[in-house]
Structure 1
Amino acid sequence: MAARIAQTTGAEHTAILGLGVYRPVRVVTNDEVAGPINSSDEWIRTRSGIKTRRFASDDETIHTMSVAAARGAIESAGVDVDQVDCVIVATSTHLQLTPAAGPRIATELGMNGAAAFDIMAGCAGFCHGLALASDLVRAGTSKNVLVIGVEKLTDTVNPADRSTAFLFADGAGAVIVGPSEEPGIGPTVWGSDGTQHHAIRQDKNWIEFFREIDEKGLDAVRPYLAMEGTAVFRWAAHSLEKVCRDAIDRAGLSTDDLDAMIPHQANGRIIDIMARVLKLPENCVLADDIEETGNTSAASIPLAMEALLRQGRSKPGDTALLIAFGAGLSYAAQVVTLPDWR
């Protein structure tokens, strides 16, 4: 008779216990990015809803921004560093293929032996990480999980590219996911659509770039982030309503139960369309951090969450719908209870 393998069980419910963010020091106006793309402040605001964004300096790296945001999350959660036994880093801009950013971040935070790894699901990465963290705690694999969304997109964007240069920016947001007496993270609705893989992509792979160096030398052009804005806009406008409604339904709620909606800060027009088709109640706050922060990909939802709480537009304990989509195309949504953030 085969030996019986023991199984673990964890918390019945999970929640976001704490939140921290890091916003780079340098504020960049539309006028600053408009020149190289032959644009204007008015054009950028009309097309994206962005007024300013943050660009990281050379000293503000994926690691340093992540550590700063993580320390804020740990402090606001009221847990000790040694109580966090897993670190999930969602990013598409850690440009060193190996090792992952996670282990170094865990060590810099003073964690001893914590599991640590990176995931790459584009702008949906944070919501993917949140789903994994909740399931890890409920399964008993982890006690408390640190989830970080971090991007330094200025390392990947061509400042002369009219489709991307005005949109993307830098920053980091982090949360602690742990056990809770009440459900604080609803079931995740997620998926992907590989037929749209071309819509957001790196415009050449590294092997192609190395071959170009051999052929052209200094005239070789490095890989940059490329985006087909119209394709992304149409896909999001057509596909995301069902994802949002499924997440709300699976949480056992209706739109009338929502205090806030925190979508990925992709584009102001997309955010407005999503809110309109869902027919959100008047008292439901819509996150619009894109105006001041730009599109920070995997970092955008925790940054937008912090902005709502800091501004007093939302409060700890509120019920919020999170929805994100990005390269892949990948998407994920869940309903959460907003955490303490100080």
Structure 2
Amino acid sequence: MTSIQLRQGAPGAQILGIGGYRPRRRVTNAELETVMDTNDEWIRTRVGIAERRWASEDESLVEMAVAAGGKAMASSGLAADQVDMVVLSSASLRVPIPGIGPQVAHRLGIPRPGAFDLNAGCAGFCYALAVANDAIRSGSAHNALVLGVERLTDVIDMTDRSTAVIFADGAGAVVLGASDEPGIGPVAWGSDGDQYSAIEIAAGRSTMSMAGQAVYRWATTRLTATLVEAMEKAGVGPADIDVFAPHQANLRIIESMTKKLGFRDDVVVAKDVMQAGNTSAASVPLALTALLESGEAKSGDLALVLGYGAGLTFAGQVIRLP
């Protein structure tokens, strides 16, 4: 019987480049006070957001993804024809077919890559990162572009303060390359499907609903174990972590997780949510980009990342910053 041959992959993958795109329009809490029953103190107290970015008509999902992906590719030093896989994560695609991954790849000049979209809600980027990492390790790809992009303003009710004050738009991307030294740890992921309706766009509706208190309780009581698991799988502990960059959903959730994990006093904690709002699948790469651009984080730092959201899905990894 003829045997099926398998390709030999690399020992690991590293992040070679990173980039982000933030829409031009800044929306402050004061502006929201004029259109809904809310105020700056209420928003800051509950979610820690001071402002967020909302995309204009010309800032489409494709345009934002191309902008972020182009920056990541430029910082990686790779040419477009060296990238052979594109994974795009988004929970706000308005057209189900076709996906936009192949279109973004084409716009970036990447010739005929394996390209597809992935929807795991706000955990999407970390899911996509795990998929691309495993593809490189298995030999299915050598270099990959991973993107998270959202226009959540397309799917929120602007009169619903439980969602409209939180969600925002933007795009983030990283380029992965095969490496002898692993720069991305094993993923710790899963789902709690019994709470699938906690964040949803119900059948027949066009806008999102969210059971905020239920999601808050779930995130603050169930996900610390996932972060510990991600560190254990990577063979590191809290004292080894230089940067903590969880999904930027709520400042109170970030503070709760940070307190429970027992990091060093000098650990850098991403708090991009304060200026960017919740950008779902784009939040982790955007937060990391901000920390690197500001100098708060530096190349070579060991970062613990976590995505979580609709599904309810979650995924965490330890990564080496580019």
The TM-score, its normalising length taken from structure 2, stands at 0.99
Aligned to 2:302: 319
Aligned to 1:329: 312
Q: Does 1:233 align with 2:216?
A: yes
Distance in 2, matches of 1:41 and 1:289, equals 17
1:167-226 Cα offsets, whole Å, 9 max, x none, are: 000000000011123220001000000011111001x32xx3xxxxxxxxxxxxx52111
Counterpart code for 2:82: Q
Equivalent of 2:272 in 289, 309, 318 = 289
Give 1:37 deviation, angstroms.
2.6
Give 1:115 deviation, angstroms.
1.1
Aligned to 2:252: 269
SS of residue paired to 1:163: helix
Distance in 2, matches of 1:334 and 1:9, equals 23
Aligned to 1:305: 288
Distance in 2, matches of 1:316 and 1:263, equals 18
Distance in 2, matches of 1:75 and 1:30, equals 35
Give 1:277 deviation, angstroms.
0.8
Aligned to 2:4: 5
Q: Does 1:118 align with 2:128?
A: no
Distance in 2, matches of 1:36 and 1:327, equals 27
Query: Structure 1: which 5+ runs fail to align?
Result: 209-221
SS of residue paired to 2:161: coil
Q: Does 1:195 align with 2:194?
A: yes
Distance in 1, matches of 2:276 and 2:31, equals 15
Describe how 1:1-342 pairs up with structure 2 within 5 A. 2-202=1-201, 204-205=202-203, 208=204, 222-339=205-322
Give 1:36 deviation, angstroms.
2.8
Counterpart code for 1:48: V
Counterpart code for 2:256: I
Distance in 1, matches of 2:260 and 2:209, equals 28
SS of residue paired to 1:15: strand
Distance in 2, matches of 1:99 and 1:302, equals 24
Matched residues, number: 322
Counterpart code for 2:304: L
Distance in 1, matches of 2:261 and 2:196, equals 26
The TM-score, its normalising length taken from structure 1, stands at 0.93
Distance in 2, matches of 1:268 and 1:28, equals 18
Distance in 1, matches of 2:261 and 2:307, equals 15
Distance in 2, matches of 1:39 and 1:289, equals 21
Indicate the structure (1 or 2) with the bigger Cα radius of gyration: 1
Distance in 1, matches of 2:151 and 2:168, equals 7
Give 1:35 deviation, angstroms.
3.0
